Amino acid sequence: MERDNLMHGARTALNRDMDMRTWCEQYLKEKTRAEKKEMTEEEFEHFWKYHKPEIMHEGASEAVAAFKDLNPRE
């Protein structure tokens, strides 16, 4: 339940702050790219296009926490 509350709060923050959303999206894209080393750039971009929504949803809490670590006043 607490995990769901964190994810909901993070998703809300991403929907309200486009700068944070852009940063978090790039953070999660780079993290996912590092995990998918076997894919070519073209394959990865195709993968990212179709899996971005679920990756953004699942990684929202982590990405927002990383953003806040680098931007403590946010």
**Structural domains counted in the chain:** 1
What pLDDT is recorded for position 1? 45
pLDDT of residue 5 exceeding 70, the answer is no
State the residue for tokens 């929907």: 15
What pLDDT is recorded for position 74? 56
What separation, in Å, do the N-terminal and C-terminal C-alpha atoms of the chain show? 25
Q: Where are the alpha helices (DSSP H) in 1-74?
A: 2-16, 18-35, 41-70
What's the rounded Cα separation, in Å, for the pair 33 and 19? 21
Average the pLDDT over 58-68 and give the result: 92
What's the rounded Cα separation, in Å, for the pair 2 and 26? 26
Domain extent at residue 41: 2-70
**10 touches 61 (CB < 8 A):** yes
* pLDDT, tens digit (0-9, with 9 covering 90-100), for 18-60: 999 999 999 999 999 999 999 999 999 999 999 999 999 999 9
